Structure 1
Amino acid sequence: MKLRIFHPNRHQIVDWGKALRLALLLMLSVIPLIGIALGNARAAETPSAGAVYVIPVHQTVQTGLASFLDRALEEAEEAKASLVVLDIDTPGGRLDTAEEIGKRIRGATVPTVAYVSGKAASAGAYLALNAGGIAMAPGTTIGAAMIVDGSGNAVENPKLVSFWSEEMASAAELNGRDANIAIGMVDPDRVVEMKAIGETKQKGQIISLSSEKALKVGYADKIAKTPEEVIAWKGLSDRTVVDLKPSFAEKVSTAVTSPGIATLLLIIGIAGVAIELLVPGFGIPGIIGLLSFGLYFFGQSIAGFAGMEALVVFLLGIALLVLEVFIPSFGILGILGIVAIIFGITMGAYDTGNALRSLGIASLVAAVIVAVFVYVFRKRGVWNRFILSEQLTTDKGYVPQVSREKWIGQEGVATSMLRPSGIAEIEGQRLDVITSGELIEKGKSIRVVSVDGTRILVKEI
């Protein structure tokens, strides 16, 4: 809503929408706070000691899964569970996240067993090897842990291949499994003989084992059709079974912390806030931008990466950018605001390098979106506040100044005494004229010598 106040010489527009947009800025702090509160209030009812916890691993191995598994294992440990069954069906995912989860599984204070109910490929195989035992359902597979990039192409960097091969081998050796088979799941150049099944992996191949072959080579300890059979195999059929599922907040966190969605949220956030600052008056881009940033920090806080300090630094950056629009600072406030936003986003991310990469991509894409939007709505831009657009036209009572250069050389008659200024008639028009100092009597002929602005200089002829 706009209230227009008119003044005889000028009018001002008091935009009450600014107050609304400032209020919306505060909303940004509320959404992550909800995430932090939910993260602190996750604990469900604790079953009696000795229960068996079944934890699903049915998604891509990424930061959201790491947060959920950490919470689930912590809950099982606090309940002094007799066993944790990791129900694995995943195509793999990020190796750094797999390392983090694998370390958490190894460090669990309760017994663990991996139950492959679908496939344990790539990083999923690594998670299974870190558990205290492996059971597989009929028709499932484990292996194919070759390193690939985001496009699915094989990574041939010898250092990375060697590193991941050793990680897989170390995980296999935890429970006395053949380390060479684990290396054969990663390195296509390694030749691996598997006498138990009468096969030899040749160069250019990657090992992926069916449940039956895995059992024969020692990469599965049991074939089980259901988690209940796994529990019975461990002699715990009489125990209470607790099926842990990701909460709604954790599902949202898993989605928004994935690299693609996180980058998309940053694009929308940057573009929305920038459009609102440069082309004010809409409100909707600013609201969408703030909600996108809020959702980004919500996901990061649920995943345990973003704390209050990251949110405070980010909000400080937004506030400095807003001040830059209204308070001339020669760009100082704007630069400080941008730096604070970058620090806030990277502080609240799992990996600083990935966060900077995503922020860079988001900034470039958002810049294009903002440029298009600003061009389309250029007449509403904030820069128009600093441009004088008022026109002094005849319909508003203003008389335009006509050039007097045409009078030079023209002759006329002094209609009053020029001492030295007075009035003369030239070409039938009465004009104010002046001499260079001499006096000219009324009725004398004069000629225009020069014109200086509104000053017409004449002399007697």
Structure 2
Amino acid sequence: MKRLRLILFTSMILFSFLLSLIPSAEGTGDGKLVYYIPVEQAVERGLGAFLERSINTALDEGADHLVFEINTPGGFVDAAGEIAGLIRNSPIPTTAFIIDEAMSAGAYISLNADQIVMMPGASMGAAQVIDGSGTAAEDKAHSAWLARMRNAAELNDRDPIYALAMADPEIDIPLAPSKELLTLTSSEALEVGYAEAVVNNRAELLEFLGLQNAEEREMEVSFAEKIARFVTHPIVIPILLSIGSMGLVLELYSPGFGIPGIMGLSALFLYFFGHMVAGFAGMETFILFGVGIVLLIIEVFVPGFGIFGAIGIGAIIGSMVLASYSTFHILISLSIATVLTIIVSILFFKYVGYRGPLKRVIHTDATKTEEGYVSNVTRQEIIGKTGMTLTVLRPSGTALFTDERLDVVSEGGYIGQGRKVKVVSTAGSRIVVREVHESKE
């Protein structure tokens, strides 16, 4: 029995040793690791944060090559510059694999990779800078962008004229009709040296790279990063802040805690959460925001001459600025949210009325005449009575009616002292008199 066990044990060791001698089926790509990183949808700050995490993860896991699978219509210049810097400064080889389109900022990002490979039917170009109104940017921004495009093309000895034609319709070349931006198809890009190869799939790409049997891994955008990419979009930020501020203000106009409050808090939570996931904010922003809310509550219930309220508003604005990637963008967004909130609050207060929780601490009742309240009794019974002025009326003064001194006012003219006057009308404390002229016989 012992002998049988010894034989089995020796056989297992020998079998393991023989397996280790068998050549791996990975061929020329033995031991290599390729990471695929998607560059999809709009180019914005959230995408930059995802790419930074992806590159760091790939490097930590010992990747030998980074493949950026690009399919984007473009986006924002500042975010494109940040992403291009990440790709350009990668310590390992990079390939921009354009699977559909690399327009505008996407073309610029692709040019910063070590090489460009395209799929049939893919395209790149149309990279002119436009402003918020959809028109061409001013000369200063346009000139800076042209310099970026030129530098990106020259990184890998590409003819910069094509990169400039992508960004400037005034540049006339055979591939771009006059006054139109250049967009290269995959075959055209290959022809002019803006693509190293055209392949049909990942397998052909790896074969071109000499990594056909390398291990392949793919980065995926997490659910939290998808939220972050959405809420950090410059167009979405003012919408979120507007919903947040309007929701909280309308909650003050409504009894209890309901839909407006939930919407407001959810919008603000998404703003901070998205910016935290994207790497722009930390827990200090949540703490500062919470302090601001507490101070505003204290201002409502504790008289403080506005000090608590002012500090609270400052803390809230400060937390949003700290969480944002751009002070300019967040201030614009806050201005939009403030204007919309004021307009909605006025309309809501006018047509719906106030029924919120502050009704308990704010006195809103009024003493109306319709309810029997008057500030002064109107002396209807003295109309028609005559008296004597005790003082000059210019036009107000004092007159004596029987044994009662009254403050009176003339109809507008001067009435001397000791003149006979008659009460012509009364309205509250206002008694109007007219001089009586006695006729001579």
TM class, shorter-length: 0.7 to 0.9
Query: What does residue 148 of structure 1 align with?
Result: 130
Residues 323 and 178 (structure 1 numbering): CA distance in 2 closer, same or farther, change over 3 Å? same
CA offsets, 1:329-369, max 9 Å, x none?
22222222222111111110111101111111111112222
**How do 1:112-131 and structure 2 match up within 5 A?**
112-131=94-113
The answer on whether the counterparts of 1:85 and 1:227 sit within 8 Å (CA) in structure 2 is no
> Which residue of structure 1 aligns with residue 80 of structure 2?
98
Quote how far apart the aligned CAs of 1:149 are: 2.5
Distance in 2 between residues matched to 1:210 and 1:406, nearest whole Å: 94
Q: Is the contact between residue 77 and residue 108 of structure 1 (CA under 8 Å) also seen in structure 2?
A: no
- Secondary structure of the structure 2 residue equivalent to 1:339: helix
* Structure 1 residue 68, shift from structure 2 partner: 0.9
Deviation at 1:229, TM superposition (A): 1.3
- Whether 1:109 and 2:91 are equivalent positions in the alignment is yes
Provide the residue aligned with 1:11 in structure 2: none
Give the 3 Å change call, closer, same or farther, for CA 407–315 of structure 1 in structure 2: same
- TM-score of the two chains, using structure 2 as the length reference: 0.74
CA offset digits 1:429-457 (Å, max 9, x no partner): xxxxxxxxxxxxxxxxxxx96699xxxxx
Q: 1:161 aligns with which of 122, 135, 142?
A: 142
Q: Aligned to 1:54, what secondary structure does the other structure show? A: strand
**1:404 & 1:252 partners in 2: Cα distance?**
68
Distance 1:281 1:77, change over 3 A: same
Distance 2:324 2:34 in 1: 33
Q: Counterpart of 1:375? A: 350
The reply to whether residue 269 of structure 1 matches residue 244 of structure 2 is yes
Unaligned runs of 5+ in 1: 1-47, 193-198, 392-399, 409-447, 453-461
Contact 1:62 1:94 survives alignment (8 Å): yes
Change (3 A) 1:295 1:49: farther
Q: Structure 1: how far apart are the matches of 2:263 and 2:59?
A: 41
- Name 1:344's counterpart in structure 2: 319
CA RMSD of aligned residues (A): 3.1
1:318 aligns with 2:300: no
Aligned positions, number: 357
1:182 to 157, 163, 171: 163
| Pairing 1:224-235 to 2, within 5 Å after superposition | 224-235=199-210
Q: What percent of counterpart residues are identical?
A: 40
Deviations 1:100-158 (A, max 9, x none): 00000011122110011101111000111111110001111111111123343333x22
1:379–1:55 distance in 2 versus 1, CA, 3 Å: closer
1:355 aligns with 2:324: no
For residues 291 and 336 of structure 2, the distance between their equivalents in structure 1, rounded to whole angstroms, comes to: 23
Q: Secondary structure at the match of 1:113?
A: strand
Which structure exhibits the higher relative contact order, with contacts defined as CA atoms closer than 8 Å and separated by 6 or more residues?
1
CA contact (8 A) 1:405 1:451 kept: no
Aligned residue in 2 for 1:42 = none
After the TM superposition, which residues 309-458 of structure 1 pair with which residues of structure 2 at under 5 Å, given as runs? 309-381=284-356, 382=358, 385-387=361-363, 389=365
CA deviation after TM superposition for structure 1 residue 403, in Å: 6.9
Q: Equivalent residue for 2:12?
A: none
C-alpha distance in 2, partners of 1:173/1:307?
A: 38
Q: Which moved more, 1:269-278 or 1:180-189?
A: 269-278
Which residue identity does 1:387 align to in structure 2? Answer: H
**CA offsets 1:400-436 (integer angstroms, 9 cap, x no match):** 999797999xxxxxxxxxxxxxxxxxxxxxxxxxxxx
Superposed displacement of residue 384, structure 1: 6.4
Does the Cα contact within 8 Å between 2:172 and 2:179 map onto a contact in 1? no
1:172 aligns with 153
Pick from 227, 230, 253 the counterpart of residue 255 of structure 1.
230
Name segments (4+ residues, structure 1) moved above 3 Å: 200-203, 277-280, 383-386, 388-391, 400-408, 448-452
- Per the normalisation by structure 1, the TM-score is 0.71
Name the SS for the 1:335 alignment partner.
helix
| 1:238-264 deviation line (CA, Å, top 9, x unaligned) | 111112110011111111111222211
Gaps of 5+ in 2: 1-29, 368-373, 383-401, 407-441
Indicate conservation of the 8 Å contact 2:31/2:215, yes or no. no
SS in 1 for 2:163: helix
The residue type equivalent to 2:94 in the other structure is: T
Do 2:35 and 2:63's aligned partners in 1 also have CA atoms closer than 8 Å? Answer: yes
Structure 1 equivalent of residue 61 of structure 2: 79
How far apart are 1:386 and its partner, in Å?
3.2
For each residue in 1:296-333, what CA deviation from the matched residue of structure 2 results, as whole angstroms up to 9, or x when unmatched?
A: 10111011111122222222222221111111222222
Contact in 1 for aligned 2:253/2:354 (Cα 8 Å): no
* SS in structure 2 at match of 1:146: coil
The verdict on how the C-alpha distance between 1:229 and 1:152 changes in structure 2, with shifts beyond 3 A counting, is farther
Aligned to 2:278: 303
Q: Secondary structure at the match of 1:115?
A: strand
- For 1:437, the equivalent position in structure 2 comes to none
Question: Structure 1 172/401 Cα, relative in aligned 2: closer, same or farther at 3 Å?
Answer: closer
